Chains A and B, each alone.
Chain A
Amino acid sequence: MTDQLKEQIAAYLRARMPEAGDVEIVALSRIHGGASRETFRVRASLGGRERGLIFRRDPISTLIETERQIEFAAYRSFHRTDVPVPGALFLETETQWLERPFFVMEEIEGGVAASILAANPYGEHAEAIGEQFFSILGQIAARDVASSELAKHLEKPAPDKAWQRELAHWEKVIDEDELEPQPIARAAIRWMRRNPPPPAQRISIVHGDYRTGNFLHDGNGRIIAILDWEMAHLGDPLEDLGWALDPLWSHHNPAKPAGTIDRAAAISIWEKTSGLKADATALRWWSMFASLKGLAIWISSAKEFQNATNTDPVMAFSGLYCLPYHNKVLADRLVEMQS
């Protein structure tokens, strides 16, 4: 795989960057963890100058069916803003180069991403990371939608319809992909329809998968890149907050979202930077939604693995660990609502 892929990438770079001169691939390795795209770290010599690049290629089968144009546009929407993202360089929709469509980004060097199973991934820098994590999320919510690259690709829902669209989308995923009946998911969906949230205060860019593990930090308390924008869309910014606060991403300590700071402090930082209010009723709804959306993703990944359309072990892990985890979170919340 490696030699052939090296050749293919070199040929692509020669064609795409003729001004670079001689092109040689010095190193190529696949990065573990991305279930939505195959991600390769490429060290390329371009005219004698070494440069780090990231290639994100569509998989044969995907955990999340997303448009690569949207992810590409999301990176472009935030490049050179206070939301740190790598530069998005090229988008290729043709299959002639790497058999499948892909896009190319700058590599952020020296960045570390946390494993969701790690107990205390940020150590003494947990507070600093938490403050930045929720502050950046507030900045994403505050970003002007109309002037962003993403606005060209995405439909803007009405403020009172954002929740309906998202709930219908993920319900459809469950309808299509469940391998066995899901009574907890169904009960949660009915509860959410009977108890809708208030209209969105604003329609914002929603990252869609804003959580620990999807950003790079420098190991010294600084977040240097927000990654994995493949589920980006326009909607209620509380959707991202609910997802970021979900206990699955808390590194075994739900009192400290993302394994960083107290929940109340996290919400307060988000409110300050977004200029929005995290209304308790609305956030309760979006928190329920976050766990349902998680469940839908894990149901899909379990199906992919079971049907051998994607046998990456991450897919089996999602079905075996994450699916029962979110079932428990939702079941607890539904009991709470009963009382």
Chain B
Amino acid sequence: MKPSPETILNQAFAKLAMEIGPALPPGYSQGSVTTTAVLLLMTGQEFNRAADIRVKENAAMRTLFAEQAKAVSGTLGEQLRAQSATTDTDLTVATLDKGNAALKTTLIALQTHAEDAKLQPLQKRIAAMLQEFATARQIFLPAL
């Protein structure tokens, strides 16, 4: 798609933030236009990477669950086995989000289990995984 959505949104940001916003009188309308412009800039960043982030997160969680399913019994063990067997076939962001939410619910249960059972290496691994996820999902904003 050309122009790319990222280019369209970046140019829309520039138009609103640099031309239209400053032409408005200071106050609510000007502030809202500038904030809307920033939203477009951020949405441009997110558009390009959203599916990639979710596919990678989902894959990382499934790998972890497959390994841990061997060591965990009961309901959580079954949940881990079931979740590790899921796949991402529909790569629309909305569908990936649904799968991501189901996996993260299981991740919360697994992390709670690791804390209750004092499984230090597993706790560290999950904390590092969450840090990696959070780093990838940050939005970069220039100083304005």
Contact = CB atoms under 8 A, between A and B. Distances in A.
Interface of A: 29-33, 115, 117-120, 180-181, 183-184, 186-187, 190, 194, 251-252, 312-314, 316-317, 320-321, 324-325, 327-328, 330-332, 334-335, 338-339
A115 B115 contact: no
Nearest to B115: A190
B91 interface: no
B38 interface: yes
12 contacts: A184-B130, A187-B108, A190-B112, A251-B143, A320-B42, A321-B38, A324-B137, A327-B134, A330-B134, A331-B135, A335-B127, A339-B124
Given A181-B101, A313-B35, A31 B134 contact: no
Nearest to A184: B130
A115 B135 CA distance: 24
Q: Quick one: which of A120, A190, A194, A338 has the most chain B CB within 10 A?
A: A338
B104 A338 contact: no
B27 A117 contact: no
Nearest to B102: A181
Interface of B: 25, 27-32, 35-36, 38-39, 42-43, 46, 97, 100-101, 104-105, 107-108, 111-112, 115, 123-124, 126-128, 130-131, 133-135, 137-139, 141, 143-144
Contacts of A339: 124
A29 B38 contact: no
Contacts of B105: 181
Given A317-B39, A321-B42, A327 B137 contact: yes
A181 B106 CA distance: 10
Specify the main secondary structure of chain A where it touches its partner. Answer: helix
B39 A316 contact: yes
A181 B143 contact: no
Given A183-B111, A190-B115, A321-B141, A338 B35 contact: no
A321 B42 CA distance: 8
B134 A328 contact: yes
Given A324-B138, A334-B127, A186 B32 contact: no
A132 B77 CA distance: 56
A312 B32 contact: yes
A312 B39 CA distance: 11
Contacts of A187: 108, 111, 126-127, 130
A338 B139 contact: no
A328 B133 CA distance: 9
B144 A320 contact: no
Contacts of B108: 181, 183, 186-187
Nearest to B35: A313
A194 B112 CA distance: 12
Given A180-B97, A327-B137, A331-B130, 12 more contacts: A30-B27, A30-B28, A32-B32, A32-B35, A183-B111, A186-B112, A187-B126, A187-B130, A252-B143, A313-B36, A320-B39, A321-B141
B28 A115 contact: no
Nearest to B61: A183
Contacts of B112: 186, 190
Nearest to A180: B101
Contacts of A115: 144
B27 A29 contact: yes
A331 B27 contact: no
A325 B134 CA distance: 8
A225 B144 CA distance: 24
Contacts of A186: 108, 111-112
A320 B131 contact: no
